[in-house]
Amino acid sequence: MATSPSRSFNTKSPEATESLGGQVGRALRGGEVIELISDLGGGKTVFVRGLARGMGSADKVSSPTFTISQEYKVGDRTLYHFDFYRLGEAGIVADELGEVVGDQAATVVVEWGEIVHDVLPRERLTITITATGETERDLLFIYPPHLEYLIPKEIK
């Protein structure tokens, strides 16, 4: 099995992590699935806030830890943000996730996605966020070649 391409970024602040998310958000076309992997407090919601802003959303972005999912609409496109941290099993939420994966007017972001890996497409952008300091983060993007358009060339 061939290894997927990858690219690493280092951000020095939450604002820089959000800005990197914004760069990815501006490149979104719809139909993408993004899996975020990080410890609690690692910066996943900060990154998603940037994604939503980059798409053009003015909504207040919050962690869906207690609600399981959030939706942010921008015109005819929707950013679906799922957080499976509190679930022991995916249950009916896996069905909800399955309904939006592959929707060309939607981008799906999943946190704590281990319990829904069978619903997620193999060909997805996986971003692992690692805290390397109080506000500094390393973000490793692993992606299939057809999603390379999402990968920033540099942090702006």
Structural domains of the chain in order of their starting residue, each with its CATH number: 6-150 (3.40.50.300)
Long-range contacts for 61-64 (Cβ within 8 Å, ≥24 apart)? 64/111
Question: Tokens in use for 137?
Answer: 């983060």
The whole model's pTM is what? 0.90
What is the model's pLDDT at position 3? Answer: 77
The pLDDT tens digits of the residues spanning 107-129 come to 999 987 777 777 788 889 999 99
CA distances (Å), origin 1, targets 4, 62, 118 = 9, 37, 19
64 DSSP assignment:
-
